Amino acid sequence: MTETGKRVLGLLVATLDREPAAANALRDVLLEQGEQEAADRLDLMLGLAGKVELIRNVYDLATAWTESLEDDYLLGPDFAYFVGAVIKDTYCGWPEKRPFIRLLRANFPAEHSVWNFIQIEEEEDRPTIV
């Protein structure tokens, strides 16, 4: 794939991430043209775009809720652990009463992808990082 092709593909990702049917159609065309590398790159970029969007949404929520992520509610450290879990495709574990979890519960429904990276644990002071 040429550098121009890579740039064009990168520009399409923002739109395609929100339009799964368009992304699937583009993937089909790429595969029909024998562009397996481009199809693989598209899949990777769409996955990363979704993760970035999720992290951005949680960050916007956390910073809107507090004046500083360095406060006593541990939002900053919990957000950092959450970002690590999203990047590494794993999860963090916190108790239900933790302020970060209460904030997420109040703003994201149970079926939201944010919960793919969080496991609710028994009351404990330290988060579990896997």
pLDDT of residue 26: 80
Cβ atoms 99, 76 nearer than 8 A: no
Closest by CA position to 58, among listed 81, 35, 37: 81
Amino acid identity, position 49: A
Closest by CA position to 69, among listed 56, 78, 97: 78
Block means of pLDDT (10 residues each) for the chain, 130 residues, are 72 65 79 86 77 92 87 87 93 93 95 93 68
Residue with tokens 């368009």: 22
Q: What is the chain's length?
A: 130
CA distances from 128 to 27, 31, 53, 57, 81 (A): 37, 41, 24, 22, 9
